[in-house]
């Protein structure tokens, strides 16, 4: 959409999966249109290492690749366990990766305004005396918004930031077991309760400063 063509390495890496015959003449030109803002979602980083065609790993620790991959064209790639800490989804917390992503997109598409459309974390929230003291989520948001601010200082044209999510929600295959919201939803009564993260975020929005 942004470049007017599919990347050559993508076509090469997925050649065993598809011949891309479904892409018709003129499709790329049709979807290559200007946009007002590009939405960026970020949660965690992914680390991989490569294997050669004979199955010999290019690193040195002797592990063999896992059989199969959910990612088309990634048969020669091994996905590695990331260092913690982790969210309730098992995703690593890496705000530096957020900053790197924003700066990389800015350099690849200079002049294109960006909007953070998803960034947040699931944690096993506990209700105590009618309050949810989700200090881990507050820390996650503080660290990632700090990374956002650093990217702005590096001249990234960032127009806004949306937390994922306002409310606890149905999370794909996890159903209602993972809570991302800054507002807790009691799924039996539908009662909404602002978590400490919601109060923290409200103060940030009002003051434009990271709360203590």
Omega cis (within 30) before 162: no
If you ran DSSP here, which 8-state letter would residue 23 be given? S
The rounded distance, in Å, linking the Cα atoms of 116 and 55 is 39
pLDDT reported for residue 61:
43
Q: Which residues contact 26 (CB under 8 A, 6 or more apart)?
A: none
Question: In which element (H, E) is residue 15 found?
Answer: none
pLDDT for the residue 13: 84
Q: What is the pLDDT of residue 93?
A: 98
Does a cis peptide bond (omega within 30 degrees of 0) precede residue 165?
A: yes
171-194: per-residue pLDDT in tens? 999 999 999 999 999 999 999 999
Q: Evaluate whether 97 touches 45 at the Cβ level (below 8 Å).
A: yes
Structure confidence at residue 16 (pLDDT): 83
Radius of gyration of the chain (CA): 21
Of how many residues is the chain composed?
A: 212
pLDDT in tens, 25-83: 999 999 999 999 999 999 999 998 887 655 454 444 444 445 556 777 777 777 888 88
Both tokens of residue 19?
Answer: 């011949």
Going from the N-terminus, what domains does the chain have, and what CATH number goes with each? 35-46+88-207 (3.20.20.80)
201's tokens: 């975020």
64 Cα distance to chain centroid = 28
Q: Which two tokens stand for residue 101?
A: 């992503």
């Amino acid at each position: 959409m942004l470049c007017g063509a599919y990347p050559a390495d993508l076509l090469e890496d997925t050649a065993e999966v598809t011949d891309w015959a479904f892409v018709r003449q003129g499709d790329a030109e049709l979807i290559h249109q200007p946009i007002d803002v590009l939405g960026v979602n970020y949660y965690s980083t992914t680390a991989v290492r490569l294997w050669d065609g004979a199955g010999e790993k290019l690193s040195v620790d002797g592990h063999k690749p896992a059989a199969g991959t959910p990612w088309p064209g990634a048969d020669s790639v091994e996905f590695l366990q990331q260092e913690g800490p982790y969210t309730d989804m098992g995703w690593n917390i890496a705000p530096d990766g957020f900053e790197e992503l924003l700066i990389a997109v800015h350099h690849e598409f200079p002049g294109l305004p960006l909007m953070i459309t998803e960034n947040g974390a699931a944690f096993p929230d506990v209700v105590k005396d009618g309050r949810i003291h989700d200090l881990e989520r507050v820390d996650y948001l503080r660290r990632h918004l700090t990374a956002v601010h650093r990217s702005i200082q590096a001249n990234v044209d960032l127009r806004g930031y949306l937390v994922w999510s306002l409310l606890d929600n149905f999370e794909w295959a996890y159903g209602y077991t993972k809570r991302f919201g800054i507002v807790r939803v009691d799924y039996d009564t539908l009662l909404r309760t602002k978590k400490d993260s919601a109060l923290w975020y409200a103060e940030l929005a009002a003051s434009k400063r990271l709360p203590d």
